[in-house]
């Protein structure tokens, strides 16, 4: 099972039209990720890592090349089908948490389950299970501004894993946290990975990347396999 | 689909947003409040006014025709014989003639000149039992022409019998003593105003034959004709017309047959037209209110770009985002609509008090208010909701 291929990119390019000029952000990316991997995509800002994340997360489609997610080719999908794919396949974790400020922890975790059409009873059990998993069972009805940064990111992680997605896609997940809470979040990532979840983490920080079991480097739109401890 | 959960959640969220932007929401709603308020207020006032006029007519309307026989070159109004002939027409249940005369009446030695005296038959009271508010109406045995009893209208009491014993009291009509047996409502019908200038002063009602046997000018100038159940009132009307035409030697201007039901229908049309006109004028302010909603929703969408981006990243399809913002617009306009209904009914209540008319809640107006405000929400929420649904999630997430 562990060797099952769940993501494959073949010659992915992404171009943006900027007035007269075309800027090529991704220049033919080949990447394969197997189930259960904890992959870090390491690169400085401007390297194209955000664009790559958007394509992996089905927020954007490539200009050229082939992207298979869970065996399905993601190509000229419209926004509605992309939303459905995201709902099932992707769990996002953002640098700045992106919690809805007027909703409590419970409601924030519930949100993707509503979009995934899970019935209410099942939803409740699931939300509670997720919040227990990230250690926030006593903060279920706290609003985001009543939670510390680390706790907010835990809510965001609970939200990301609630739908049991194929890939957990984290964008600088510790970027807004201090070192200690950042380490705790990484601890949680290890736990999730040990349970068999596939994690792809985008970061510019080699120290954070070193938590992953595999690192690829991205620079100027090209990707290269890195070594652990290569930082 | 899990749309119910989305609707419920969107509903709660829109209430949260309204609460979070109290002032802005209030000002936005104000447009709808004024719009719906003026629609409801004006339409309800139209209903109250027309209702007051029609209330007088409607009681007289059903199954009844009123005939007028005027004084012509050949004929002094209707005769007793005419009434008998008209009673025999197929479909006529009965004819209640009214013989009118003006007479001097003496109450406790005080003279009241030119009081309208109406000779009324017992059929009238059988058909209009509500017309007597105290005492009794005339019955068949009162109709022999020798029973000197009378019924006084309320405004006559005000004029001549204030503070006196009314029922059982005695008054002199043309020198003959009459006993008061009943009190009748003032005849405030539109027809009474049209046909008798002294309607406001109140009349005294005596048995029909008594008037005929009195001295002086006496004319049976009108009669109420009651139609048997199951007969078409229009058919009876045309039979009456041809009979009257014979009596007046073909002089069609000398008589009238008035079908109050057709008058009612006409009034209904007038009412509908007036309501539509007033409602139409007031809807202009609803339009302005709708533009306010659109403006606020557009601001809301641009303020919440990041939220929209996040929802999309979490798997929300564009249609669900659209639904959410539409619901918010409808909640906003719907709340304004509810307040507006209250405001409009309040205005109508005050107006009805000023006009001394009965206040009636027009449910069609309320339905219209609810419908209008919901429609305004949907129509003017559509563009902002569409815009929200079309936001690119990447740009939206990056927005500050």
Domain map of chain A by residue range? 5-225
Determine how many CB atoms are found less than 10 A away from the CB of residue A151: 19
Mean pLDDT for the stretch of residues A95-117: 92
For the stretch B358-380, pLDDT in tens is 788 878 778 888 888 889 999 99
Distance from CA of B388 to the nearest CA of A (A): 13
**Could you tell me if B241 and B328 lie in one domain?**
no
Domain count across chain B: 2
Q: Which residues of B touch A (CB under 8 A)?
A: 1-2, 5-6, 9, 13, 16-17, 20, 306-307, 310-320, 390, 393-394, 397
Torsion angle of the four alpha carbons B269, B185, B177, B167, in this order, in degrees rounded to the nearest 10 = 160
Phi, psi of A11 (to 5 degrees): 55, 40
Confidence band (pLDDT; 50, 70, 90) for A15? Answer: very high
pLDDT value, residue B188: 58
Residue B65 in any domain: the answer is no
How far apart are the C-alpha atoms of B194 and B252, rounded to whole Å?
20
Mean pLDDT for the stretch of residues B268-286: 82
How far apart are the C-alpha atoms of B46 and B264, rounded to whole Å?
15
**Could you tell me if B211 and B333 lie in one domain?**
no
End-to-end CA distance of chain B: 32
Per the rule left: phi > 0, alpha: psi between -120 and 50, beta: everything else, B221 is alpha
Confidence band (pLDDT; 50, 70, 90) for A125? Answer: very high
**Within 13 A of A14's CA, how many CA atoms are on the CB side?**
23
User: Which three-class secondary structure state does DSSP give residue B151?
Assistant: strand
Q: Are A156 and A94 in contact (CB under 8 A)?
A: yes
DSSP-assigned letters across all residues of A205-220: -HHHHTTSSEEEEEET
Residue B312 in any domain: the answer is yes
Distance from CA of B299 to the nearest CA of A (A): 18
Strand B219-227 versus strand B255-259 pairing type:
unpaired
**Could you tell me if B141 and B45 lie in one domain?**
no
For the stretch A151-166, pLDDT in tens is 999 999 999 999 999 9
**Could you tell me if B240 and B121 lie in one domain?**
yes
For B237-318, where are the E strands, in sequence order? 255-259
Domain enclosing residue B304, as ranges: 3-57+266-398
**Could you tell me if B302 and B200 lie in one domain?**
no
* Res. A54: pLDDT tops 80: yes
pLDDT value, residue A195: 93
**Could you tell me if B34 and B111 lie in one domain?**
no
Mean pLDDT for the stretch of residues B387-392: 93
Q: Which two tokens mark B153?
A: 């209208």
Q: Which helix (H) or strand (E) holds B76?
A: none
User: Which three-class secondary structure state does DSSP give residue B72?
Assistant: coil
Task: Tell me which DSSP letter residue A26 carries.
Answer: E
**Could you tell me if B277 and B191 lie in one domain?**
no
**Which residues of chain A does B17 touch, with a Cβ-Cβ cutoff of 8 Å?**
102
CB contact under 8 A, B393 and A80: no
CA separation, residue A188 to residues A90, A174, A202, A204, A206 (Å): 18, 12, 16, 20, 18
**Which residues of chain A does B16 touch, with a Cβ-Cβ cutoff of 8 Å?**
102
How far apart are the C-alpha atoms of A67 and A11, rounded to whole Å?
9
Residue B174 in any domain: the answer is yes
Mean pLDDT for the stretch of residues A118-134: 94
- Which one of B247, B275, B304 terminates a domain? B247
Confidence band (pLDDT; 50, 70, 90) for B217? Answer: low
**Which residues of chain A does B310 touch, with a Cβ-Cβ cutoff of 8 Å?**
98, 100
Task: Tell me which DSSP letter residue A138 carries.
Answer: G
Q: Are A31 and A8 in contact (CB under 8 A)?
A: yes
**Could you tell me if B35 and B176 lie in one domain?**
no
Q: What is the ipTM of this complex?
A: 0.93
* Res. A216: pLDDT tops 80: yes
- Which one of B218, B247, B276 terminates a domain? B247
CB contact under 8 A, A112 and B397: no
Residue with tokens 């999908």: A77
**Which residues of chain A does B312 touch, with a Cβ-Cβ cutoff of 8 Å?**
59, 79, 83, 86
B194-199 contact pairs (CB < 8 A, 24+): B195/B68, B195/B221, B195/B222, B196/B100, B196/B116, B198/B102, B198/B114, B198/B115, B198/B116, B199/B116
Q: Where are the alpha helices (DSSP H) in chain A?
A: 49-56, 79-89, 105-115, 120-133, 149-162, 179-194, 206-209
pLDDT value, residue B201: 65
For the stretch B68-119, pLDDT in tens is 888 777 777 788 788 888 888 888 888 888 877 778 888 888 888 888 888 8
Q: Which two tokens mark A20?
A: 């007269």
The residue among A69 and B255 whose pLDDT is bigger is: A69
Residue B25 in any domain: the answer is yes
The fold of A5-225 is Rossmann fold (3.40.50)
Q: Are A153 and A173 in contact (CB under 8 A)?
A: yes
Residue B260 in any domain: the answer is no
**Could you tell me if B346 and B233 lie in one domain?**
no
**Could you tell me if B41 and B161 lie in one domain?**
no
Strand B64-69 versus strand B255-259 pairing type:
antiparallel
Residue with tokens 């109709």: B143
How far apart are the C-alpha atoms of B210 and B318, rounded to whole Å?
86
* Mean pLDDT score of chain A: 92
How far apart are the C-alpha atoms of A103 and B13, rounded to whole Å?
9
CB contact under 8 A, B5 and A114: yes
| Cβ neighbours for B78, distance < 8 A, ≥ 6 positions apart | B67, B69, B97, B219, B220, B221, B223, B247
Q: In whole angstroms, what separates CA B365 from the centre of its chain?
A: 14
Mean pLDDT for the stretch of residues B137-152: 86
CB contact under 8 A, A118 and B316: no
pLDDT value, residue A88: 94
pLDDT value, residue B92: 86
Phi, psi of A177 (to 5 degrees): -115, 155
Q: Are B223 and B86 in contact (CB under 8 A)?
A: yes
Per the rule left: phi > 0, alpha: psi between -120 and 50, beta: everything else, B91 is left
Q: Which two tokens mark B83?
A: 């009434």
Least confident of B24-28, B93-97, B301-305, B360-364: B360-364
CB contact under 8 A, A117 and B13: no
């Amino acid at each position: 099972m562990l060797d099952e291929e769940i993501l494959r990119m073949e010659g992915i390019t992404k171009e943006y039209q900027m007035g007269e000029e075309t800027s090529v952000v991704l220049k033919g990316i080949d990447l394969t990720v197997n189930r259960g991997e904890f992959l870090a995509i390491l690169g400085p800002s401007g390297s194209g890592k955000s664009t790559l994340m958007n394509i992996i997360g089905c927020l954007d489609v490539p200009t050229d090349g082939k992207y298979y997610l869970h065996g399905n080719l993601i190509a000229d999908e419209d926004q509605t089908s992309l939303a459905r794919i995201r709902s099932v396949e992707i769990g996002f974790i953002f640098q700045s948490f992106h919690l809805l400020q007027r909703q409590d922890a419970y409601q924030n975790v519930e949100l993707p389950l509503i979009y995934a059409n899970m019935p209410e009873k099942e939803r409740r059990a699931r939300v509670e299970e997720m919040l227990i998993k990230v250690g926030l069972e006593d903060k279920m009805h706290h609003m985001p501004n009543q939670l510390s940064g680390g706790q907010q990111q835990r809510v965001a992680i609970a939200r990301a894993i609630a739908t049991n997605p194929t890939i957990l896609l984290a964008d600088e997940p510790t970027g807004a946290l201090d070192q200690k809470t950042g380490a705790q979040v990484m601890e949680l990532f290890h736990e999730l990975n040990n349970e068999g979840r596939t994690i792809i983490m985008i970061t510019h920080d080699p120290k954070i990347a070193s938590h992953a079991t595999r690192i690829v480097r991205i620079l100027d739109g090209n990707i290269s396999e890195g070594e652990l401890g290569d930082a | 689909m899990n749309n119910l959960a989305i609707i419920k959640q969107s509903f709660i969220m829109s209430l949260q947003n309204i609460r979070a932007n109290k002032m802005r929401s209030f000002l936005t709603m104000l447009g709808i409040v004024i719009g719906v308020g003026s629609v409801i207020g004006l339409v309800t006032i139209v209903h109250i006014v027309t209702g007051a006029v029609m209330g007088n007519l409607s009681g007289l309307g059903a199954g009844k025709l009123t005939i007028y026989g005027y004084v012509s070159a050949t004929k002094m109004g209707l005769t007793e014989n005419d009434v008998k002939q008209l009673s025999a027409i197929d479909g006529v249940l009965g004819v209640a003639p009214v013989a009118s005369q003006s007479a001097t009446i003496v109450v406790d030695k005080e003279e009241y000149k030119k009081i309208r005296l109406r000779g009324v038959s017992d059929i009238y009271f059988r058909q209009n039992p509500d017309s007597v508010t105290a005492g009794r109406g005339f019955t068949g045995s009162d109709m022999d022409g020798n029973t000197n009893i009378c019924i006084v209208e309320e405004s006559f009491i005000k004029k001549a019998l204030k503070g006196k014993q009314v029922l059982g009291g005695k008054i002199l009509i043309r020198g003959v003593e009459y006993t008061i047996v009943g009190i009748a409502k003032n005849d405030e019908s539109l027809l009474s105003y049209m046909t008798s200038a002294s309607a406001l002063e109140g009349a005294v009602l005596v048995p029909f034959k008594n008037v005929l046997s009195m001295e002086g000018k006496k004319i049976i100038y009108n009669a109420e004709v009651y139609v048997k159940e199951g007969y078409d009132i229009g058919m009876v009307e045309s039979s009456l017309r041809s009979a009257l035409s014979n009596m007046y030697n073909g002089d069609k201007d000398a008589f009238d047959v008035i079908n109050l039901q057709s008058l009612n229908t006409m009034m209904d049309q007038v009412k509908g037209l007036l309501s539509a006109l007033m409602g139409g004028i007031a809807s202009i302010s609803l339009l302005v209110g709708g533009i306010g909603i659109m403006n606020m929703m557009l601001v809301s969408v641009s303020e919440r770009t990041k939220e929209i981006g996040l929802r999309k990243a979490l798997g929300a399809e564009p249609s669900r985002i659209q639904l959410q913002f539409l619901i918010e617009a409808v909640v906003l306009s719907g709340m304004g609509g509810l307040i507006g209904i209250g405001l409009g009914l309040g205005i109508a209540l005050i107006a009805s008090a000023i006009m001394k008319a009965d206040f009636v809640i027009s449910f069609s107006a309320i339905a219209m208010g609810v419908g209008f405000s919901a429609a305004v929400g949907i129509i003017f929420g559509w563009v902002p909701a569409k815009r929200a649904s079309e936001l690119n999630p990447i740009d939206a997430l990056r927005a500050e």
